[in-house]
Amino acid sequence: MEDNKPASFIDQLVVPGDVVLDLSKMGNQTIKLGGGLHQDCDAITVTKAGRLRFSKPNKYWVESSQKRYVPCVEDTVLGIVVDSKADNFLVDIKGPAMAFLPVLAFEGGTRRNIPKFEAGTLLYVRVVKANTGMNPELSCTDAHLTCPVLEALGKKLSFEIAVGLNGRVWVNASSPSTVILVANAIMNSESLSVVQQKIMVDKLLQRIQ
C-alpha cells in the first residue's frame, strides 16, 4: 500500500513544498537547477506551481507562466529607461530590481559619445549579470530569433520587431493595421501548437487580402 510512488515526478504538475529529487540517491552527478526549484540539504523542493521538466544531461526546472520576469544571464529583453546617472542608465526590465546599463556598454562607446536617453526610451538589451541581491547589469546588442509565427507573417508583410524575454515586444510597420495584425498574431499564438499557429496566421492574413 505504501510503495506506489512514481519513479519520478518529471513532466508532472507540482506545487510548492513537493520534494522532487533526493540527492542522496543520485550518486555523485552534478545537476543544474533552473527556476522554481530550491535545494535544502539533499532534498530538492518546488517553490513555484507548474510542470517539472528535465533536459539532458542534467537540468531540472519548473515550467510555469508568470507576469514578472526573473533576470537570467544571456536573455535579451526590452527595457524602459527610468533615469540616467553618471556611469549607468537605470532601466526597468519588469523584474524585482532596477537594472543598470553602463553608459559605455555600446558598440564603439566612449566617454565622448555617450547616448542621451530620456526617461521612457525603449531599449533592446542583453542581460550580462544577474546575481541574487544585486541589480542586474545590461548591455546593448543585436539578436536574431526564428519563430514560425513571425516567419509566416514576414512572407506577406513588412515590419520590424524586437522581442524581449521579459514579456515585452516592440513592433513597427508603415501602416497601423499591420502593427495590429502582427501584435494580435503574437498574442493569439501563446497556447497554440505549431500547426495551429500556422492555421491562425493564414486566417489573419486572408482577412487583409
Binder among 28, 29, 132, 146 for another protein (CB under 8 A): 132
Question: Residue 132 or residue 209: which is nearer to another protein going by CB?
Answer: 132
> Contact 46/16 with Cβ under 8 angstroms?
yes
Question: Residue 30 or residue 193: which is nearer to another protein going by CB?
Answer: 193
- Check binding of 72 to another protein (CB under 8 A): no
- Check binding of 50 to another protein (CB under 8 A): yes
- Check binding of 65 to another protein (CB under 8 A): yes
- Check binding of 199 to another protein (CB under 8 A): no
- Check binding of 144 to another protein (CB under 8 A): no
In the complex, the smallest distance separating the C-beta of residue 112 from another protein, rounded to whole angstroms, is 32
3-state SS record for 119-181: CCCEEEEEEEECCCCCCCEEEECCCCCCCHHHHHHHHHCCCEEEECCCCCEEEECCCHHHHHH
Omega of the bond leading into 57 within 30 degrees of 0 (cis): yes
> Contact 21/44 with Cβ under 8 angstroms?
yes
Grid cell of 149 as nine digits: 509565427
> What phi and psi values does residue 161 have, to the nearest 5 degrees?
-145, 145
In the complex, the smallest distance separating the C-beta of residue 21 from another protein, rounded to whole angstroms, is 6
- Check binding of 47 to another protein (CB under 8 A): yes
111, amino acid identity: R
Burial (Cβ within 10 Å: 0-12, 13-18, ≥19) of residue 101: buried
Strands 88-92 and 59-63: unpaired
Size of interface with another protein, in residues (CB under 8 A): 40
Q: Which stretch in 11-19, 137-145, 151-159, 199-207 sits in contact with another protein by CB under 8 A?
A: 11-19
- Check binding of 14 to another protein (CB under 8 A): yes
- Check binding of 19 to another protein (CB under 8 A): yes
CA distance 17 to 19: 6
- Check binding of 2 to another protein (CB under 8 A): yes
Q: Which stretch in 3-11, 72-80, 112-120, 139-147 sits in contact with another protein by CB under 8 A?
A: 3-11
User: Residue numbers of the site for another protein (CB under 8 A)?
Assistant: 2, 5, 8-9, 13-22, 36, 38, 43, 45, 47-51, 63-68, 96-98, 132-133, 191-194, 196-197
